[in-house]
Structure 1
Amino acid sequence: MPKPEAVKTMLAIYNSLEDAGKTVSAIIGDGIVPATLEMLDRLTIKAVEESIHAGFPLDAEAVLLIELDGLKDGMERLAERIMEICRKNNVREVKAAKTEAERTQLWAGRKGAFGAIARLRPNYLVCDGTVPRTKLPEVLMKVMEVGKKYGLTIANVFHAGDGNLHPLILFDERNEEELKKVHLAGSEIMKICADAGGTISGEHGIGTEKKKEMLFVFTPRDIAAMKKVKKAFDPEDLYNPGKVLPEQP
């Protein structure tokens, strides 16, 4: 597949996580679908800068990494539209990478974010839920409230343009009480996603971890129908036994 004719990478810096979320909703609502639209919150920014030095400001509450690709004609106009939307949503600063080296540095920060977060605590749980992009601001605020409720630290780095959230709940698995809180918090975050009109997985799947959360988005009758379909193709339950579908819908 040929490379795009042109690429434009922008960094938008915010003093408010909510304003960053509103910007994502506004960009999509304006009919613009960037090639990439990623969000990192303050904790993630701090971890990235201590590890990778990508050039994200340490005093920002959130940054958006926005990339356009495609035909050169019209790209500057589209980039300016995005920058104007950022300004309307209280962006502190929005700027474009001037060189390929600057672009590479910004992307190194995003790609290394999960590894950087791993330096903060011995373990983290990656929550994977998806919500309508118009609901991002309120869902992000609710996710942070879950962290406060359970006394847990939550970092956010995710595919904002898809509404695919990845709250990272930091913990130490040697602390049994903390581990219990992590599982409760993770389940509560999935319920928030489902209640917002979203779902409990964007890309990581269900496995065994989120079987009971399937009932947040499917009825017992739905689950029973899925089990019948599986049994028709797998009567001896040889394929991924005990995965995805809850035992008692």
Structure 2
Amino acid sequence: MHTAPPDPANLFARRQQVAEALRAVLPARCVLAEPEDTRPYECDGLAAYRQLPMVVVLPDSEAQVIAIVNVCRQLQVPIVPRGAGTGLSGGAMPIADGVVLSTARLNQIIRMDAYSRTAVVQPGVRNLAISDAAARHDLYYAPDPSSQIACTIGGNVAENSGGVHCLKYGLTVHNVLRVRMVTIEGEVVELGGESLDAPGLDLLAVFIGSEGMLGIVTEVTVKLIPKPSTARVIMASFSEVGAGCNAVADLIAAGIIPAGLEMMDQTSARMVEPFCKAGYDTEAAAILLCEADGTPEEVEEDIARMTAVLQAAGASAIAVSQNEAERLRFWSGRKNAFPAAGRISPDYYCMDGTIPRKRLAEVLAGIARMETKYGLRCANVFHAGDGNLHPLILFDANQPDEFARAEAFGAEILAMSVEVGGTITGEHGVGIEKINSMCEQFTAQELEAFFAVKRAFDPLKLLNPDKAIPTLNRCADMGKMRVTGGVLKFPDLPRF
């Protein structure tokens, strides 16, 4: 059980003890203990929350991962697994008296099989590197988060990452066949397999998206799919955000499953266009990017069908990519929306709620009202096809109270997502960012079920503790004055 960190006077001695024990089983270059060496690991992509780790370890092999786990278990030291640090929910934020275990050096593609269309990779392999290596076989790895040039497959497994093509091709959980991982007992376990199914409980699906709380990934087998011979993108402009949202539902209702279906509001388009010069219509209230892929004949037919639906839904303008360079340019704006936010705001806070597609217009109208309520702008860019919202709340951390307002704004967006039948995360994870929002969504009984799974894998609670699953006391403290439908959410817990 993780306890409160020691006071500073004791922390130095503890760091020396842990670093010495780790250096006894690892090469010295694999252990970082000085503050100037550990500072780069103090946060992930959610830089608003930071904590200097006690020690950072960078193993070169699975055997070294096992050795690290054994040392930490014996000394009762918490472990926070970390990939590339591109996560946006604070899931890789260190613990003051804990070890950060970086998988960055486990970066080898072990095997690529064009016949079975699979690749076996270590967790530190970058997402895009898999597709680059598979390209010579005319194959690629489908999940493509916006950070795919930097994010690693181990982190994708931890967060169940998606991307702009997840509507047609699925999330990480739909594209991973097998995970090899190290438990807190130092045991190597393989979940799933290279066949269509594996015996026993589906622990692979339990593990994917578990945010480093159940084990440490050392190897992943992913599915590869054939590269489509042709792909084209429609950029449709709408004079009203609601009309664009309704067009999303109309496309799906027509039986069309685009390879990608993304939406950006005017704020997003205007911040992205000078940055990427993607050719976006900056006068439109919203734009939709709809991709069709397959054979030339299939793409031609799908483009015609999608164009007809979009025109009927009220699109004010439609542009279709005429070549591969233009297709990539259309997507470049969407994939660079987050860094482009820096052009118009010193800071941004990215949320990650998922809602039913039919409620898109309603929720975006609600977010617009919240902009006035909190006095902050919000740029909306999201995976429209599966209702995964990514509102970018724009603020200035140097202004008193602005970050607090941004946090409250984000929490209200997530609460609204739950209210309309959605969930508080789609692909960014819970981490520390949304841990209070877990109390909005789940009952005491459901949270206890989560803890039961955690105990089964990690009875000592040493793997990424204090993340993702809130304690019931935390929920009681957070919601002691909260009444939903006339009913207190946790009536059995003390409220004061």
TM-score by length of structure 1 reads 0.95
Q: Which moved more, 1:46-55 or 1:194-203?
A: 46-55
Cα distance between partner residues in 1 of 2:377 and 2:415: 19
CA-CA distance at 1:229 after TM superposition: 2.5
Find out whether 1:163 has 2:357 as its counterpart: no
Determine the C-alpha separation between the residues in 2 that align with 1:98 and 1:10: 10
Residue in 1 that maps onto 2:250: 26
Cα deviation for residue 15 of structure 1 reads: 0.9
Q: Deviations over 1:193-213 (max 9, x none)?
A: 111111000000000111111
**C-alpha separation in 1, matches of 2:275 and 2:372:** 26
Whether 1:117 and 2:341 are equivalent positions in the alignment is yes
* Partner residue, 2:238: 14
Percent of pairs with identical residues: 41
Q: Is the 8 A contact 1:28 1:133 kept in 2?
A: no
Structure 1 match to 2:450: 226
Q: Structure 1: which 5+ residue stretches go unaligned?
A: none
- Residue type of the alignment partner of 1:95: A
Q: Which residue of 2 aligns with 1:79?
A: 303
1:181-224: CA deviations, max 9, x gaps?
Answer: 11111000001111111100000000011111112221111112
User: 1:25 touches 1:136 (CA, 8 Å); kept in 2?
Assistant: no
The one-letter amino acid paired with 1:210 is K
1:120-131 equivalences in 2 (<5 Å): 120-131=344-355
Task: Give 2:437's aligned residue.
Answer: 213
Residue of structure 2 equivalent to 1:92: 316
Instruction: For CA contacts below 8 A with separation 6 or more, give which structure has more relative contact order.
Output: 1
Q: Is the 8 A contact 1:4 1:70 kept in 2?
A: yes
The answer to whether the 8 Å contact 1:159/1:165 transfers is: yes
State whether residues 12 and 91 of structure 1, in contact with CA within 8 Å, keep that contact through their aligned partners in structure 2.
yes
- Please give the alpha-carbon distance, in whole angstroms, between the structure 2 residues aligned to 1:162 and 1:236: 37
Q: Which residue of 1 aligns with 2:62?
A: none
Find the counterpart in structure 2 of residue 185 from structure 1: 409
Q: Which runs of 5+ in 2 are unaligned?
A: 1-138, 140-225, 476-496
Note the alpha carbon deviations across 1:145-177, whole angstroms, 9 max, x for none. 111211110001111111110000001112231
Aligned AA for 1:243? K
Local SS of the residue matching 1:134: helix
The structure 1 segments of at least 4 consecutive aligned residues displaced by more than 6 Å after TM superposition are none
- Contact residue 10 and residue 66 of structure 1 kept, 8 A: yes
Aligned-pair Cα RMSD in Å: 1.3
- Please point out which of 422, 426, 433 is paired with 1:202: 426
Deviation at 1:32, TM superposition (A): 1.0
1:136 aligns with 2:360: yes
Distance 1:162 1:241 in 2: 30
Whichever residue aligns with residue 155 of structure 1, its letter is A
More helix by share: 1
